[in-house]
Every structure is written in C-alpha cells, then in structure tokens.
Chain A
Amino acid sequence: MNTTKDLDAIFAALADPTRRAILTRLAEGEASVMELAQPFAMSQPAVSKHLRVLERAGLISRGRDAQRRPCRIKAEPLTEATAWLEGIRQVWESNFQRLDTLLDELKAEQKKRSRTKR
C-alpha cells in the first residue's frame, strides 16, 4: 500500500508529458536509454533525468546489465494512482448521469416549444 508521500511522487512524476510518453513507450516493452531518447529528440542525459524521477516514484525499474540498463514499467503504483482518480470519476459520473437526464428533458421541452411556435 502506498503512503501519501509515495503518491505525491507518483503524481509529480506523471505530471510531465515527456514522462507520460516514456511510460506509454515502456508499456509496449522494455527499452534502453538510447532507444527512449530517439523518438523524443532528446539528449540521453535529459532522458536519464526523467528516468530517475520515474524510478524514484517506483514507476519503472532498471535492469542490471551495465551496458544497456533496460527500463521496465512497474504496473502496481500506476494502478493505485489510477484507482484514486477512478473514485472521483465514479462520483462525478453518477452526478453527470442525472444531468444527462435533465438535458434530455430540456431538449424535449425545447422541441415542443419550437413545434408550438409553428
């Protein structure tokens, strides 16, 4: 179970679009720093910096192979961060479903009014 501090690190890591793109790439399979740097048109040190943030947040792990040190995504913390947002989503979705019903009624009323006008 993550502590709030861990979650802070996860959300901070996920706040950056490049890091989210790196995670999306790693979701397809492991990759080296060089392989990751290529599509992002970034220097390897710049990518390494992002990887350190992701590693500290526990979102990726690095292989031991000294030459290549392939990066892998770690799914568990991501699932937890997603679950937090899912809670909010459920509450509001139920709220918005009632709004859907209201909007349907308003649309019907509007239609009726424009018919009577004619």
Chain B
Amino acid sequence: MNDTASLQVSTPTDREIVMTRIFDAPRNLVFDAFTRPELLKRWFGPRGWSLVVCEVDLRVGGGFRFVLRGPGGQDLGMRGVYQEITSPERSVHTESFDDYPGESVVTTTLVEQGDKTLLTATILYPSREVRDMVIQSGMQHGAAQSYDKLAELLAGGH
C-alpha cells in the first residue's frame, strides 16, 4: 500500500491545488497533529525551520498564528481564521502570510480507511496568478531539494 501512501498533488481548477495523502494512524490522532500546538511544533514546516510561535484558538471564528524561523534566523509569519470545524473529520480556515498579499481558503477533510486516514487538503487561492506563483516557487525549490525559502509554500495543508 506504499503507492497510495505517498502524496498526490493536482490542480482541478485554475485557482486550486489539491493534496491527498494517507497516514497510517487513526483519524483523531491526525486531526490532533494538525490542530494542537504542542504537536504542530513537532512536525510543521519545511526542513530546517522551526515553529517558534504556534497559537491555535480552535473554534469557528477563532484564529491561529504561526511564526516559522528559518536556519538563517529569518522569521515568516502566517495567520488565519477557522470558518468551519467538525472534529475530527473536516475543517475550513483562511490563511495569509505576513509578507505576501492575498488570502487563501484551506479545506481539510479526513476520511477513515480501516486503520488509516485519508487526508484531502484543498487550497483555494484568490487568483490563478497567486496559485501559479506558489507552484512556480515549488518547482524551483523542490527540484533543488533546498528547503531554505520554502515557507511560502506552506500555503495550506496545516
């Protein structure tokens, strides 16, 4: 089942990116890992970056605030507001970066598949231009396997 476990990325419409990934864990644990600060700090962010600020107010209308610190000491802040929470199966939140224009909307669903959990994260960008900018930097950095300036790619999925 290793094939299905690896991450799939697609662009179903010209303003969206959809990521699907299977995790070998029950749904409530995956939901916790995406929403509890003490757990987020243990995995969220590109390699070499750490989550130095992680505040989550997990209720509709509540916000989150993340600051990622890079290997060179540079900070990248992001924030958003929860629009919908159905624990542990679905959440919708807005997301924006301190240093980049535009706000995206991230819809996350978790579906149980036996002992595993299928994650689907749909990121809706304000425009096709913003989405393509994200994809473009994804190729440059990803292909080079350099994770130094990749935090902007975190537009979604959390």
Contact = CB atoms under 8 A, between A and B. Distances in A.
Interface in B12-48: 12-14, 17, 19, 21, 23-26, 29-30, 32-33, 39, 42-47
Interface string A104-118: 101100100000000
A87 B142 contact: yes
B135 A91 contact: no
Contacts, number: 113
A15 B13 contact: yes
A53 to B, nearest CB: 12
Contacts of A92: 7, 9, 19, 21, 153, 157
B136 interface: yes
Decide if the interface of chain B is mainly helix, strand, loop or mixed: mixed
Given A15-B11, A88-B17, A91-B141, A102 B132 contact: no
A34 to B, nearest CB: 29
Given A87-B140, A94-B147, A106 B13 contact: no
Interface in B54-92: none
Contact of A89 (B29, B47, B142, B147): B142
> Which of B12, B13, B43, B153 has the largest number of chain A CB atoms within 10 A?
B43
How many B residues touch the partner, as a band?
A: 35 or more
A7 B132 contact: yes
Chain A interface SS verdict (over half) = helix
A40 to B, nearest CB: 19
Interface stretch (A22-30, A43-51, A64-72, A78-86): A78-86
Which 6 pairs of residues, A with B, have the shortest CB-CB distance?
A87-B142, A88-B138, A87-B139, A87-B138, A103-B25, A90-B142
Interface of A: 4, 7-8, 11-12, 14-15, 83-96, 98-104, 106-107, 110
Given A7-B132, A106-B29, 10 more contacts: A4-B136, A11-B14, A11-B132, A15-B13, A85-B138, A87-B137, A91-B142, A99-B43, A103-B24, A110-B29
